[in-house]
Structure 1
């Protein structure tokens, strides 16, 4: 499954980004049994958790989350990074109620002259150009954001089916319909959603062809919003998570406790023995262990001078997208990803 290369790629990418609306990497290290990545603490839970609890979000909540996530996406796209797995589960709130992008497991750098072709993401939020396998760039993240807005406003996703084939057909061909909710929803909110969930990439809101982030911010749904205050993460949050209760499902943590006597207890590092070259070919497991040892080194964000003009972005690699070249690979990371039977996670 090439999991080692994938986690190295995720960590390397996180080292290169820092933004108010991203769960930033702060430290990385390893012991003899685990790799650790320490990211910003988010006590507010993810949007999926709150959506399941509330049913639908208020208009003010949707406005702020859309504004903040669009800032995070614009930042990533300016660095030629596409997230590819945007969904409520991957948007976390801090203790003050501000939204942050997380889970960069299948995020990847892209080149303007070389479209991505891998089918990667969570199917219910995939853009048509991903499913068609004709190549795509950062436009796919804006489609996903539109699907999220619809779901937060209506309480269900715009495209649903009982099979992956049916869901693919719905995403590729069905018209967007707000159903009975259309009578009560803000017309500007529905227009914004329609402009994101637009099959014509050249007209999709947020894309460079459609005027980019400037056109997005000028949409009537954001009328009166001070974007400078938004970018500084100072805009008043209409919803502040309850700090006296857990804003997450404790089931996962309970499973961890049952499976591990001392979860996340760091084990002391043992002195590594030099590999013996006996002429035998290196086993896949030994190779992966060597790669982790050599490339998953200690990282401390406080020792990185991002203001140093000599510190430049790492050049893009021809092999950064580990999924490229595969015929059909679908990443489905949880039960909410599709109403259809989930495809195998890769």
Structure 2
């Protein structure tokens, strides 16, 4: 009996804040400079998500906290079928967590590296879906600034979803952006020439979409620009390069570009996370429990400045729960509907009784 009892999943109150304990870690699927991604399952609903977690100390040391907070702020206000949507955000002593839609089709960069050549009809579908997503973002005054195959994920049905709002920015009405941000081979010409008087706007995302579509069709980009290419060289490329359009492409596709199932990831990520990682996620609970008991090894002994930054991060972190937000919205709608459908006679009788 004891074994049967212990095997039951823990019961969580739907009104309590979602934490790391609400999820079961299934496997690691990727990592960046200070953030990693794993597949998780929520214990109560059994829904699968992707969980991105970022080490707080590394974020502070690399001055990335502002970008993380900005990404959270932007993603909380978004929900669209062709975006990777945020569901929960929370934190613990070590990490900040973002739980988002799980898309198992892999990113488009992965497929390009596998020498996949997309048919024109497929690329047309991608363009339509991405255009709807970009139009949605523009309606909310958001420039993504990093549209590229790496940041476009496929779901199991072959539809595309834009991810990674780490360098996205909110455009104030009537203003233009002047800061240079993005991945050079996909950046629009005006981004390299932006000054305080002449900036750029939403059009840069559409340029990046055009570069991406060309690359998906041809297997390489239209301009020979790399991440280490200098700004002067890039300007020269834009002035002198002639973009080639294969004869097999339709006139409609060329005109457009001229106007502007299984888990697809590297399996070595799992090995690194479970074996080579110094602080693996699946041992977090034991690690934090040990840290809590060891009161002598506090952060205060490791430098006041870092500790102050970590405390500030802990205080200002944005907690989010889309599930709870939807539930609250539905309750409001039900109350409004109930009030609208109330029998007028019954209301008059109540007034008379009063």
Residue 295 to residue 127, structure 1, CA distance change in 2 (3 Å)? same
After TM superposition, give the deviation of residue 54 of structure 1 in Å.
3.2
Which fold has the larger relative contact order, with Cα–Cα distance below 8 Å and residues 6 or more apart in sequence?
A: 1
Work out whether 1:66 is the aligned partner of 2:132.
no
Any residues of structure 2 matched to 1:103-252 within 5 Å, and which? 103-133=164-194, 134-161=198-225, 163-165=228-230, 167-170=233-236, 172-178=238-244, 182-196=246-260, 242-243=261-262, 246-252=263-269
> Aligned residue pairs: how many?
252
Contact 1:159 1:170 (8 Å CA) reproduced:
no
Shift of the 55–49 alpha-carbon distance from structure 1 to 2, 3 Å rule, reads same
2:312: which partner in 1?
A: 291
Secondary structure of 2:114's counterpart equals helix
Q: Distance in 2 between matches of 1:91 and 1:35?
A: 23
1-structure distance, mates of 2:116, 2:255? 21
Higher share of residues assigned helix? 2
Aligned with residue 98 of structure 1, among 159, 171, 174: 159
The answer as to 2:280 corresponding to 1:262 is: yes
2:317 pairs with 1:300: no
Following the alignment from structure 1 to structure 2, what is the Cα–Cα distance between the partners of residues 36 and 285?
20
Instruction: Tell me if the contact between 2:106 and 2:265 (Cα under 8 Å) persists in the aligned partners.
Output: yes
Q: CA RMSD in A?
A: 2.6
Q: 1:167: Cα distance to partner? A: 5.0
Q: Tell me, which stretches of 5 or more residues in structure 1 are unaligned?
A: 197-241, 274-281, 311-346
Q: 2:88 — aligned with what?
A: 27
Larger radius of gyration: 2
Q: For the structure 1 residues 57 and 125, does the alpha-carbon distance in structure 2 shift closer, same or farther, using more than 3 Å as the test?
A: same
Compute the displacement of 1:113 (Å): 2.1
Q: Pick closer, same or farther for the CA change 1:176–1:23 going to 2, 3 Å.
A: farther
Q: Secondary structure at 1:145's aligned position in 2? A: helix
Deviation at 1:5, TM superposition (A): 1.5
The C-alpha deviation readout for 1:99-157, integer Å capped at 9, x for no partner, is 00000000010113221101100000000110111301111000000000110111101
SS state of the match for residue 45, structure 1? coil
Query: Are the structure 2 counterparts of residues 286 and 172 from structure 1 closer, same or farther at C-alpha, using a change threshold of 3 Å?
Result: farther
* Superposition deviation, residue 55 in structure 1: 4.0
CA 1:132–1:251 in structure 2 vs 1: closer, same or farther (change >3 Å)? farther
Q: Is the 8 A contact 2:143 2:202 kept in 1?
A: yes
* Structure with the higher fraction of residues in strand conformation: 2
Distance 2:237 2:131 in 1: 22
Residue 86 of structure 1 aligns to a residue in which SS? coil
What do the CA deviations read for 1:253-287 (whole angstroms, capped 9, x no partner)? 4333312353355435859x9xxxxxxxx944123
> Under a length normalisation based on structure 1, what TM-score does the superposition of the two structures give?
0.67
Structure 1 residues 297, 77: CA separation in 2 closer, same or farther (over 3 Å shift)? closer
Change (3 A) 1:120 1:297: closer
TM-score (norm 2): 0.65
Preserved contact between residue 42 and residue 94 of structure 1 (Cα < 8 Å) = yes
Distance 1:67-1:40 versus aligned 2 partners, 3 A rule: same
For structure 2, list consecutive stretches of 5 or more residues without a partner in the other structure: 1-61, 296-302, 333-354
